[in-house]
Amino acid sequence: MLSKPIYDQVFLEGFKDDSNDDIVRACRQELQKHQIKCEDTDLQEEVDFQVPPLKGKNIEEHFLNIGNEHVQPYKALLDQLLSGIPKQPGTWLMQEGWTRYAIGQEPEKVAFPWEDALVFDVEVCMKVGKAPTLATAVSDKAWYGWVSPTLVNGAYAPNTGYQYQLHSLIPLESTEVQTEADLSENQLRPKVIVGHNVSYDRARIKEQYWLKRTGTRFLDTMSMHVCVSGLTSYQRAVTKSANFTEDDDSWKNNCSLNNLADVHNLYCGTKLNKEIRNLFVDGNLIEIQESFQTVMKYCAGDINATYDVLKALYPMFLKRFPHPVTLAGMLELGSAYLPINQHWNRYITDAEYAFEDLEKESKILLARRSDQACQLMHDSKYQKDLWLWDEDWDSKEIKIKIAPKGKSQKETITTEPQNKDENDEVDELAEKFKNLWKTAELLPKVRPLLPGYPNWYRKLCTKPDSSPNWVPGPHLLSTSMKITPKLLSLTWEGYPLHYLRDKGWGFLVPFSDDVDLERQLPLKELLAKCPLLTDKARIGDSSQAMSDLTKNVDDYLMKKEFYSRVKKDQTGGLYKEIEECCWFFKLPHKDGAAYNVGNPLAKDFLNKFSENVLASDSAHAEEVLTIARKLSYWRNNRNRILEQMIGWLPEEHLPKELRNA
């Protein structure tokens, strides 16, 4: 595939033309059979440019050499760290910033840790925000503790916006006055920080928000564990399930979940006590301050646990993945970041506004469709509707009180209000409707919500006392509700969708044309819309689109589990139990036939509308589905995007070309 000039540079032995004339002739003849003329093809000039010289005799040796060149300084630091760490201090000082604890020396306040290889852990008081509360680190020579100013002072203003200035983060390589403008030799020197799920800790380090990269790289023991003894999706589900019985459970002793407690138990054989962690989740800064020694020992305990895991896991990782490029790739991927400017806030705001506007528009369209569906109550027309026939069409009626004895109804109704000022000009509307003034007395104190409307509609409505600006209508309606696909009259390849509680969403296929038999399902209307299928096998032919949507379950589950789930559902999703006249065929689920589809308007099905596999007989449906496609991305990713930690650089720290950008 390479041109000869480039081939000669990449493969030093040079290009050897060993093509066979007979094979070339046979290829030309085969192309001619298909009326492909290869003689008229215009030949392009060979691509020729100078590639960087190889660092070795061939490509394999080249990547081995550049991999070793990159990781060797960091491997040396890890070897130094694994030689041993000191015992953690018995008492921790509550003072702002970093404190160094070295054996035989008094605790010393420092700007940042001195050594180049550290095991590092951060704890965060969740009620305050995502900014770091305290941290500990250990090198081969000393322990370090970091305490935030908010914890020392005990006063704080909760930050729920996830946006922070750099002074609230942890300095790991610089003093308060140092910036990224001119990186020092110390900052450019290779350093390695080890942690479990270290990306969480890295997000709270000040220098990681600089535009210029320092020499620090991060090694994640959780990522190494996933590579060496991680769980598949199926194994994770089995491990978390207390009721699952598995014949072959030999793998359970050789893998674990990814949290530090389980990983430490797997490689070191001891369990960790993580109860103190709840204080950071449920407690406030005052409570953490009162338990300062306890929480610092807990954080340092996680450091010891991570170090023990590193000692056991690092040699296994190198044995499993001996090529240096693997480790180099992990170190480089752990230093990635996303640069943003003030347009990030505008993006968030605009996305929120657009999402809210489209969601309101979708609700208005659905409300309009539900109002139209209510008209099916007249003359029991709902009994002939292919989607709403099995909904609850019963309604609540309002009971009017009988007028008090001694007064005629006319007198009760026509009595005018007292204390009327005769000089006031009588309002024409008040005069017209004066007969209704006292009808409120005939209403019961407890009145049903929306009397006369079907129960399924009433469930979509809020009560009058729910809001001072209450107006009647289905305000609770959304695309995730069970009634929505029915209101939109959705079909799968022309067959109406139907929902069964224990089987999820599917579609109805008639197999009987006996319309004289009394039944709830409107078979006559169904036969007018859908062809009668008498051969069960033909359903598989008409549902080719299902196989396109259904992914290979083997990508997610072990082969054994795949076949065991197939045994659990021998019907292939087909059930002959609807009014003795229809097959119910389950919609395809991405994880296999054993799973039920909970919402045909979910993102996995949106592309089926453009393929016309999923369609609708309703004019409103296309508008609602267009909006659903637009909302899908933000609905699924909104929380993850909004919760990203953002560190703003002061304008004076930015390059001139980026200021006011």
Cite the active site residues. 121
The CA R_g of the chain, rounded to the nearest whole Å, is: 36
Written as one letter, the residue type at 602 is A
- Between CA 321 and CA 298 the distance in angstroms is 33
Query: DSSP states of 33-90 as a string?
Result: HTT---TTPPPPPPP--PPPPPSSSSHHHHHHHHHHHHHHHHHHHHHHHTT--PPPPS
Q: Which helix (H) or strand (E) holds 194?
A: strand 191-195
**Count of CA atoms in the C-beta half-sphere (13 A) of 80:** 17
* Per-residue buried b or exposed e for 214-253, using 16+ beta carbons within 10 Å of the residue's own CB: bbbbbbbbbbbbeebbbbeebbeebbeeeeeebeeeeeee
- Between CA 382 and CA 388 the distance in angstroms is 6
Q: Smallest Cα–Cα separation from 448: which of 402, 382, 400?
A: 400
What are the tokens at 215? 């020499």
640 SS3 class:
helix
Residue 125 near residue 288, CB atoms below 8 Å: yes
Angle of helix 292-320 versus helix 59-81 axis, rounded to 10: 150
Residue 113 near residue 144, CB atoms below 8 Å: yes
Encode 256-305 in three state secondary structure: CCCCHHHHHHHHHCCCCCCCCHHHHHHCCHHHHHHCHHHHHHHHHHHHHH
Written as one letter, the residue type at 613 is V
- Between CA 311 and CA 306 the distance in angstroms is 9
Contacts of 397 (CB under 8 A, 6+ apart): 448, 451, 452
- Between CA 147 and CA 93 the distance in angstroms is 9
- Between CA 352 and CA 163 the distance in angstroms is 17
Residue 462 near residue 476, CB atoms below 8 Å: yes
Residue 199 near residue 173, CB atoms below 8 Å: no
- Between CA 123 and CA 274 the distance in angstroms is 13
Angle of helix 260-268 versus helix 292-320 axis, rounded to 10: 60
Residue 389: other Cβ atoms inside 10 A = 21
Beta partners for residue 99, in sequence order: 109, 145
Fill in the DSSP letter of residue 460. Answer: T
Torsion angles phi and psi, residue 616, rounded to 5: -150, 150
377 SS3 class:
helix
Q: Smallest Cα–Cα separation from 239: which of 251, 228, 229?
A: 251
Residue 423 near residue 411, CB atoms below 8 Å: no
Residue 260 near residue 302, CB atoms below 8 Å: yes
Residue 581 near residue 521, CB atoms below 8 Å: yes
Written as one letter, the residue type at 324 is P
Contacts of 182 (CB under 8 A, 6+ apart): none
